[in-house]
Amino acid sequence: MVELSTTTDQSANEMKKLPLDGDKTTTILLNVEEDIKSLIKKLAKRGEIGNGVDIPKDQLSSLPTSITGVVVHFITKGLESEFGIGFENEPRSLKVRGISNYDKKVAGKKRLLSRDQKNDLLAKTTMTYYDKKIASGEMTVENAMYSIKDAYERKTNYEEMGYILPPEKTKYPYWEGENATEDDE
């Protein structure tokens, strides 16, 4: 049984604090509606919500900048408000970090994918990529469809930021406005 420590705030409500081992992590797969994912992504990227919803930027500044961070933020807030449960230390996904290597590459218009990674991503957007796995029973058609959708979304995200993924296998990906050559590395 887990032992809880308690703290008392000014309103005399007791907050139960659970231990949190930051060295042990795991993954959760969440199947949510596209609109929910879109909203969470907009919150993480401080984008406009749309549909008549306007959240001031200063309110968004306290949110994490990743989809996982936003989800964990609202889970922890929900646990606190609904059950008075918190954690002894802050979850890793909520910690503010400096700019990531990926963000530095995007800002500097550096290469994000190798030619092989680009070819692999493009291949994953087609059903033929999964034919052998489906035939062998290693993967279901439904899982293949989810994988195709995921790969297509990743491809679209690159394209939306101006990163071109040419379909020719010998061509490297490049930033919009750059001259692409087959000899680039």
Domains in the chain: boundaries: 5-94, 105-175
Per-residue pLDDT, 185: 46
Cα 56–chain centre separation: 22
**Cα–Cα distance list, 174 to 72, 100, 106, 125, 180 (Å):** 34, 20, 11, 19, 6
Instruction: Identify the band that residue 9 occupies on the pLDDT scale cut at 50, 70 and 90.
Output: very low
pLDDT in tens, 27-45: 777 888 988 888 888 888 8
d(C-alpha 46, C-alpha 49), whole Å: 9
pLDDT, greater one: 180 or 57 = 57
Cα 152–chain centre separation: 15
Q: Evaluate whether 156 touches 125 at the Cβ level (below 8 Å).
A: no
Tokens (6 digits) for 98: 């400096």
Which pairs with CB-CB distance under 8 Å and at least 24 residues apart come from 55-64? 64/93, 64/94, 64/96
Q: Strand, helix or coil at 131?
A: helix
